[in-house]
Amino acid sequence: MLFIGETNLMSDVLTQLSEDMAAAVERAAASVVRVEGRRRMPATGIIHSADGIIVSANHVVERDDNVRIGLPDGTTASAQVVGRDPSTDLAVLRVNGSGLTPANWDLNKEARVGHLVLALGRPEATVQATLGVISALGEGWRTAMGGMIDHYVQTDVTMYPGFSGGPLLSASGYFVGLNSSALARGVSVTIPAVTIARVAGTLVQHGRVKQGYLGVSAQPVRLPSAVAQQLNQETGLMMLAVEDGSPAANGGLAMGDTLVAMDGHPVRMMDDLMSMLSGDRVGKSVPVTIVRGGATHEMSVTIGERS
């Protein structure tokens, strides 16, 4: 049972919290833009530097030309696509302008499980917000396309249409990262600030992020019982096709081989293989284990670069 004084105190606390969060949204809005890069509803982007660099989610920038940016002052400007990294779902855009307000990124990883956060979006002229908490934090992980995300950030915020590419904002006003609805099914994940800084820097400098390439098409298959017992692994990837002159062909892989390990890591599903084809392995010779004729064989393949 709450007494009148306690009720008033709680009301004061909630009112102050609401005012503080509204003020944080107002400040952050100066760094949040609308991205018109697809036929359906516009999405959101974040001003990364005062000279016109903007980061957004790659999957919402469906075209390379005629991209328009709705700036915080209400004006609209054309944007150039500087580069993309589908493996981390990041795209970097550039608008002609100066004096823009860059995001205040949380590079020190101050976020903790249970912290209140706001997801911001600007699919229309004004900024929209939704409230939630950070529900999970974890170590670095690789996406299904092999992109390295420096640490795992999961929230329970509702990703409304047009919010992809927008920021996750801490209660203290820091930009924790960029929200994406394309990296994990049914889960709201945030690309952390440190990953954005690394990938955006590479895209600005080189226009692309290296992606490994093997040159095969494959599907998961069950391993023979004796091999499965030997490897303590039930499935591998059977090579349905191996491109002529590809890294896989040059390394001796052939149609019908079953890939079960690469660089010391088990390969059971296609996602396992994709995670091994990261940019840092391009040009490196890595050991692979295959099953051919019912027996395991050790080989090596030099990872190529996807064009």
Contacts with 57 (C-beta within 8 Å, 6 or more apart), sequence order: 43, 89, 90, 91, 164, 165, 178, 179, 180, 181, 182
Can you give the chain as a three-state secondary structure string?
Answer: CCCHHHHHHHHHHHHHHHHHHHHHHHHHHHHEEEEECCCCCCEEEEECCCCCEEEEEHHHCCCCCCEEEECCCCCEEEEEEEEEECCCCEEEEEECCCCCCCCCECCCCCCCCCCEEEEEECCCCCCEEEEEEEEEEECCEECCCCCEECCEEEECCCCCCCCCCCEEEECCCCEEEEEECCCCCCCEEEEEHHHHHHHHHHHHHHCECCCEECCEEEEEEECCHHHHHHHCCCEEEEEEEECCCCHHHHCCCCCCCEEEEECCEECCCHHHHHHHCCHHHCCCEEEEEEEECCEEEEEEEECEECC
Q: Among 56, 164, 180, 181, which one carries the catalytic annotation?
A: 164
Task: Determine the Cα–Cα distance for residues 42 and 47; give it in Å rounded to an integer.
Answer: 16
**Residue among 56, 59, 85, 181 flagged as catalytic:** 59
| Cβ-contact 184, 217 below 8 angstroms | no
Catalytic residue, candidates 48, 56, 85, 89: 89
Which two structure tokens, joined as six digits, stand for 70? 């709705």
Q: Is 135 designated active site? A: no
| Residue 87 annotated as catalytic | no
> Is 59 noted as a catalytic residue in this protein?
yes
Number of residues assigned to the chain: 307
Catalytic residues: 59, 89, 164
